[in-house]
């Protein structure tokens, strides 16, 4: 239990409130899209109707890769990245590291996408960032992830912005802990018969207290990811390597060894893939080859955490001989405290260390965080409603963002499903979001009451959620029987989730109707 003196407690309450009110709405947007992005892969499968189940790494690809390497200029053989794209197709990116005139380090090269028959279905030249933008079958999940990672603000500013939001969440979490005089009591205190302000304060407090450790972890890991490349790496490289970012990357991520540039054909990568699946117990999520076609070629395969572990697994192979060398830490050539800590940042942030179960827990705790942020903003407003009538605009803004964002995201999903067969999802997914957002903003300020508008938004969101599964089927998506037969239960599971979520929202709105005419706290009803 933490007992701060009265003055410090008052200060912490102010810090907690202002850290939320100044950046709370943007933070809410980041947390909401992050909550959805926990299931980005599954949403991608559901929305695009992917029904393949065999990984690209389980099919032979070594001969295709040799053929592609012969077509690719040798200067781009410095590295080759292999990963799954689309419906378990294979993506291959031959590249080299270059420094742009503005000092930015980029990977530039040739990207190929191979269909299941090994034929090239797409070929592009450019930097990693140019090539790996949204595509017709990934536009929805890419939109979610981009909103979460950088709020669609160009880099580095977008990452800096979300990093600052992460720090404000860290402040809110720590100050939230410090202002709890009775932490354990608060965890279970829910005065249902108290007045609405107290009841809502209790709900905010209970949800916030339960999710405090999670909020801390998310804020810490999120700000780490945002500041890592934008500020951290250049500054540490400046201090340790005189500004040479490539040298830092080599030291941290590279595979040490004596350079041997003699040309030697790459070994049998099918054998590497099969062996890595046997050793790690799962298909690789990623495979990278350093010095393709040289005697010192090294292959690293990356796998999701297995056997209850938290850190991902990576295996190192001799590229020329296709022989196993060692199990390698994700970061650094040997196990170390720094490497292990850095390796667990990703699973801690994305919640992907124990499959769907951990993702579901992360989703649920993310929902609690959204609830805490939204109700916190509402409580802040209610406490000041008596003194400042001019805060009505802020109350409306909170409703617009708090309930309008989920609505706009569901509109986005509907637009994606309609545009998918037309091949225009890359355009229509963000456009639909903009149209929905503009409509919500206009409606939010023109509607007579904030409470009435919030009910309308919730009903519209619920209706759209219920409409998504039939819309998916109408636009050519696979039926439940087809999906289950193809080993993709996630498609019917997400259909059911949307139907249940829509039904639950309608029930909640109907249930809250008797309280909505309360004269005392009209603006608080939206927080429910």
Q: State yes or no: residue 15 binds another protein (CB under 8 A).
A: yes
501: Cβ–Cβ under 8 A, 6 or more apart, which residues? 462, 465
Smallest separation (angstroms) from another protein to the CB of 8: 5
Binding residue for another protein, selected from 18, 199, 228, 324, defined by CB under 8 A: 228
Phi/psi of residue 268, each to 5°? -75, 100
Collect all residues with Cβ–Cβ distance below 8 Å to 235 and sequence separation of at least 6: none
Q: Which stretch binds another protein (CB under 8 A): 98-106, 226-234, 316-324, 434-442?
A: 226-234
Q: Are the beta carbons of 38 and 467 closer than 8 angstroms?
A: no
State which residue, 12 or 43, has the beta carbon closest to another protein: 12
Residue 48, C-beta contacts closer than 8 angstroms, at least 6 positions apart? 86, 87, 137, 138, 420
- Shortest Cβ 333–another protein spacing (Å): 6
Q: Does 310 bind another protein (CB under 8 A)?
A: no
Distance CA 21, CA 9 (A): 18
| Residue 240 engages another protein in binding (rule: CB under 8 A) | yes
Q: Is 238 in the site for another protein (CB under 8 A)?
A: yes
Q: How far is CA 125 from CA 68, 108, 122, in A?
A: 14, 8, 10
* Dist. CA 516–CA 254, nearest whole Å: 61
The CA distance from 332 to 421, in Å, is 45
Cβ nearer to another protein, comparing 314 with 525: 314
Phi, psi of 395 (to 5 degrees): -60, -45
Among 83, 199, 220, 445, binds another protein (CB under 8 A): 220
Write down the least CB distance from residue 500 to another protein, Å: 36
Burial of 6 (0-12, 13-18, 19+ CB in 10 A): exposed
12 near another protein, rule: CB under 8 A: yes
DSSP 78: G
| The Cα angle at residue 170 between residues 168 and 175, in degrees rounded to 5 | 95
Residue 107 in the binding site for another protein (CB under 8 A): no
For residue 405, give Cα distances in angstroms to 32, 33, 200, 349. 8, 9, 22, 22
Between 49 and 176, name the residue whose CB sits nearer to another protein.
176
Answer whether 417's CB lies under 8 Å from 47's CB.
yes
Candidate list 134, 267, 329, 366; residue touching another protein; CB under 8 A: 329
Stretch 438-477: interaction string toward another protein, x if CB under 8 A: ----------------------------------------
Helices (H), 390-449: 392-419, 425-446
Pick from 167, 391, 467, 471 the residue near another protein by CB under 8 A: 167
Choices 200-208, 293-301, 337-345, 488-496; region in contact with another protein by CB under 8 A: 337-345
Residue owning tokens 């609690």:
368
Q: Alpha-carbon distance 236 to 459, whole Å?
A: 50
Give the separation between CA 21 and CA 17, rounded to whole angstroms.
6
Q: Which of 264, 271, 263, 265 is nearest to 61 (CA)?
A: 271
Residue 174 or 411: the one with the smaller Cβ distance to another protein is 174
Sign of the C-alpha dihedral computed for residues 283, 286, 291 and 292 taken in this order: positive
Question: Shortest gap between Cβ of 369 and another protein (angstroms)?
Answer: 17
* Numbers of helices and strands, H then E, in the chain: 19, 8
Name the minimum Å distance from CB 334 to another protein. Answer: 4
Q: Do residues 292 and 69 touch, judged by C-beta distance below 8 A?
A: yes
Answer yes or no whether residue 326 interacts with another protein by CB under 8 A.
no
Stretch that binds another protein, among 277-285, 333-341, 346-354, 402-410 (CB under 8 A): 333-341
Q: Which stretch binds another protein (CB under 8 A): 45-53, 69-77, 233-241, 515-523?
A: 233-241
Q: Which stretch binds another protein (CB under 8 A): 230-238, 278-286, 365-373, 470-478?
A: 230-238
Instruction: Specify the residue, 13 or 206, whose C-beta has the smaller distance to another protein.
Output: 13
- Which CB sits closer to another protein, 249 or 431? 249
CB of 160 to another protein, least distance (A): 11
For another protein, which residue of 27, 90, 297, 345 counts as binding (CB under 8 A)?
345
Q: How far apart are CA 357 and CA 348, in angstroms?
A: 14
Task: With CB under 8 A as the rule, give the number of residues binding another protein.
Answer: 42
Taking CB under 8 A as the binding criterion, the range among 152-160, 171-179, 307-315, 358-366 that sits at the site for another protein is 171-179
| Residue choice 327, 336, 518, 520 for contact with another protein (CB under 8 A) | 336
Should residue 337 be labelled a site residue for another protein when binding is judged by CB under 8 A? yes
- Within residues 116-145, the interface with another protein by CB under 8 A covers none
Among 183, 265, 326, 341, binds another protein (CB under 8 A): 341
Of the chain, the end-to-end C-alpha distance in Å amounts to: 30
Q: Does 30 bind another protein (CB under 8 A)?
A: no
493-498 contacts, C-beta under 8 A, 24 or more apart = 494/39, 494/42, 494/43, 494/46, 495/46, 495/468, 495/469, 498/465, 498/466, 498/468, 498/469
Chain residues in the site for another protein (CB under 8 A): 4, 8, 11-12, 15, 166-167, 170-171, 174-175, 219-220, 223-224, 227-228, 231-233, 235-236, 238-240, 242, 248, 251-252, 329, 331-339, 341-342, 345
């Amino acid at each position: 239990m933490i007992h701060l003196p009265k003055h410090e407690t008052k200060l912490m309450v102010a810090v907690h409130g202002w850290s939320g009110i100044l950046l709370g709405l943007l933070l809410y947007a980041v947390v909401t899209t992050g909550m959805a992005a926990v299931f980005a892969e599954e949403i991608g499968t559901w929305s695009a109707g992917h029904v393949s189940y065999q990984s690209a790494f389980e099919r032979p690809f070594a001969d295709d890769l040799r053929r592609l390497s012969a077509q690719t200029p040798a200067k781009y053989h410095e590295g080759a990245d292999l990963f799954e794209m689309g419906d378990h197709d294979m993506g291959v990116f031959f590249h080299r590291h270059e420094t742009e005139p503005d000092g930015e380090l980029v990977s530039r090269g040739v990207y190929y996408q191979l269909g299941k028959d090994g034929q090239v279905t797409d070929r592009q030249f450019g930097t990693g960032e140019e090539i790996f933008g949204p595509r017709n079958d990934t536009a929805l999940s890419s939109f979610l992830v981009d909103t979460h990672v950088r709020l669609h603000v160009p880099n580095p500013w977008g990452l800096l912005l979300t990093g600052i939001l992460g720090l404000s969440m860290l402040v809110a979490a720590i100050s939230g802990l410090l202002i709890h005089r009775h932490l354990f009591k608060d965890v279970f205190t829910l005065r249902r018969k108290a007045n609405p302000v107290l009841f809502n304060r209790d709900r905010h407090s209970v949800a916030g207290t339960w999710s405090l450790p999670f909020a801390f972890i998310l804020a810490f890991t999120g700000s780490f990811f945002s500041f890592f490349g934008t500020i951290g790496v250049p500054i540490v490289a400046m201090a340790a390597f005189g500004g040479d970012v490539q040298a830092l990357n080599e030291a941290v991520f590279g595979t040490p060894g004596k350079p041997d540039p003699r040309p030697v054909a790459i070994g049998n990568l099918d054998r590497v893939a099969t062996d890595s699946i046997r050793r790690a117990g799962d298909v690789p999520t990623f495979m990278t080859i350093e010095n393709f076609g040289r005697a010192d070629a090294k292959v690293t395969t990356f796998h999701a955490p297995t056997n209850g572990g938290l850190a991902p697994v990576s295996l190192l192979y001799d590229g020329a001989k296709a022989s196993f060398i060692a199990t390698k830490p994700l970061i650094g050539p040997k196990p170390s405290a720094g490497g292990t800590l850095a390796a667990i940042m990703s699973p801690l942030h994305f919640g992907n260390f124990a499959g769907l179960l951990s993702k579901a827990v992360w989703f649920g705790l993310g929902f609690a965080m959204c609830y805490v942020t939204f109700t916190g903003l509402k409580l802040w407003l209610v406490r000041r409603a008596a003194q400042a009538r001019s805060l009505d605009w802020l109350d409306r803004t909170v409703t617009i963002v708090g309930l309008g964002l989920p609505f706009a995201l569901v509109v986005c999903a509907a637009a994606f499903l309609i545009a998918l067969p037309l091949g225009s999802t890359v355009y229509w997914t963000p456009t639909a979001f903009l149209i929905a957002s503009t409509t919500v903003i206009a409606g939010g300020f023109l509607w007579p009451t904030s409470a009435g508008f919030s009910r309308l938004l919730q009903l519209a969101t619920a209706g759209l959620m219920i409409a998504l599964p039939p819309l998916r089927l109408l636009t050519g998506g696979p039926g439940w029987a087809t999906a289950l037969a193809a080993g993709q239960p996630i498609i019917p599971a997400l259909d059911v989730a949307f139907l249940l979520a829509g039904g639950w929202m309608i029930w909640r709105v109907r249930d809250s109707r008797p309280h909505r005419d309360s004269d005392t706290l009209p603006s608080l009803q939206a927080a429910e």
